[in-house]
Structure 1
């Protein structure tokens, strides 16, 4: 994603957070709604206009530039050695998962039984593993993209299958904002790939909503986990009923 696209994505996110429409933004800077939409769709915005837009939204230009820089990804996966290092240290893996969820240093030590020194040590290790870029005051920038995925059948996925999946699916999935679906269909390979693309878009949407909701009070937010899978599969008990030829 180019720098202008990153800037526009940040501006749209800030507009949503401020409950500001294109029409209202146009009224604040003296442009029509159609002109605002054209400006955002074409990415045609001078520095002075960008400054006006930021002022109208109520966010500093420096903050917008920083968010755009922070959202620049480095990779979408770790190496086998990196994943093995995470799995070998439960606290390190826990802090890594928190970082992937964009938790602050303070939120981690307030929630889990980990000392400040231990948490700092984990952040230092994650910096060395290239998962994050550690910054002053225990702040960090993610060095993986929104499309980040654990290695297929890698150490983390194996750990999830052994200890996480059963615990996850033991829930009732009947709470607010919860659902469980199991849908079967016979598809061609291109159709299956198209569905995979839509699943990836859904995961990206969850990441976007998570980022937007970071501005909301902590008591209004809860932890949600989206666990999706798509594979060519048949229940073993049904396979045993197939006719033999």
Structure 2
């Protein structure tokens, strides 16, 4: 659906919510009812006409556009090109990771040595890439679904494997609120996917707790990184010993 068609669909909903008929709208616009019906049925009209209908319905065009944007389906995965753009610049990657945690511009520049100008530039680039919708006062709406994940073999995970994995697992996992579990076993192939679903729920719980705790003072919060994974795998040194 085109952007204009989305706006027209939203206008139809506003018209119905206001309890107005096509005849009522036609009267406010100074048009024939048949013209209004034809215009709305096509789902395509100049933005100037959309604006005129907004005034007739006494709604703000910006609010209507925002509702349309909020109703768009959220992304569960980026394209190769989008991910490649994210990892091409380390500052952009940093800001991207921060917006995934819903950090504000003030939080990002307060925690990292990145200027406000560079941060705003990164936010604008993330808007162009399609990860966020940048709004006034450098606020934004995340356009990623709760089930979003980086592409398993995409540029971001390749960067993670090359630069992050060893650094992450080099830790002792023995600090407050830390832990590392390594469990191996042979289970039914039919039951294995259910463990993935449980891990996804844990990840969602973690993300939701992060959102809920944003209201706490900075001193009462600590940054944690949760890594979950399960795969059919055997340590290569053990595989070499198999009969």
| Superposition TM-score, scaled by structure 2 size | 0.70
In 2, Cα distance between equivalents of 1:95 and 1:129: 13
Q: Tell me the alpha carbon deviations over residues 12-40 of structure 1, each in whole angstroms, 9 at most, x when there is no partner.
A: xxxxxxxxxxxxxxxxxxxxxxxxxxxxx
1:114 corresponds to: 114
In 1, Cα distance between equivalents of 2:216 and 2:72: 24
Please identify runs of 4+ aligned residues in structure 1 that moved more than 6 A. 69-72
Q: Tell me the alpha carbon deviations over residues 178-207 of structure 1, each in whole angstroms, 9 at most, x when there is no partner.
A: 100000111222211000010111110001
5+ residue gaps, structure 1, are: 1-65
- The within-5 A match list for 1:98-177 is 98-177=98-177
Q: CA deviation at 1:228?
A: 1.2
In 2, Cα distance between equivalents of 1:107 and 1:99: 10
- The within-5 A match list for 1:156-235 is 156-235=156-235
Shift in CA distance, 70/185, structure 1 to aligned 2, threshold 3 Å: farther
In 2, Cα distance between equivalents of 1:151 and 1:74: 16
In 1, Cα distance between equivalents of 2:111 and 2:215: 19
For the pair shown, the structure with the greater C-alpha radius of gyration is 2
Does the CA-based 8 Å contact 1:72-1:145 persist in structure 2?
no
- The within-5 A match list for 1:31-42 is none
In 1, Cα distance between equivalents of 2:111 and 2:72: 28
Does the CA-based 8 Å contact 1:109-1:116 persist in structure 2?
yes
SS where residue 133 of structure 1 aligns? strand
Q: Number of aligned pairs?
A: 176
Q: CA deviation at 1:130?
A: 1.0
**CA-based RMSD:** 1.7
2:93 corresponds to: 93
In 1, Cα distance between equivalents of 2:207 and 2:133: 19
Shift in CA distance, 194/77, structure 1 to aligned 2, threshold 3 Å: same
Q: Tell me the alpha carbon deviations over residues 120-147 of structure 1, each in whole angstroms, 9 at most, x when there is no partner.
A: 0000000111101111111111100111
In 2, Cα distance between equivalents of 1:188 and 1:159: 33
In 2, Cα distance between equivalents of 1:190 and 1:97: 34
1:45 corresponds to: none
In 1, Cα distance between equivalents of 2:223 and 2:93: 17
| Superposition TM-score, scaled by structure 1 size | 0.69
Q: CA deviation at 1:222?
A: 1.0
Structure number with greater CO (CA < 8 Å, separation at least 6) is: 1
2:238 corresponds to: 238
Q: Does 1:80 align with 2:80?
A: yes
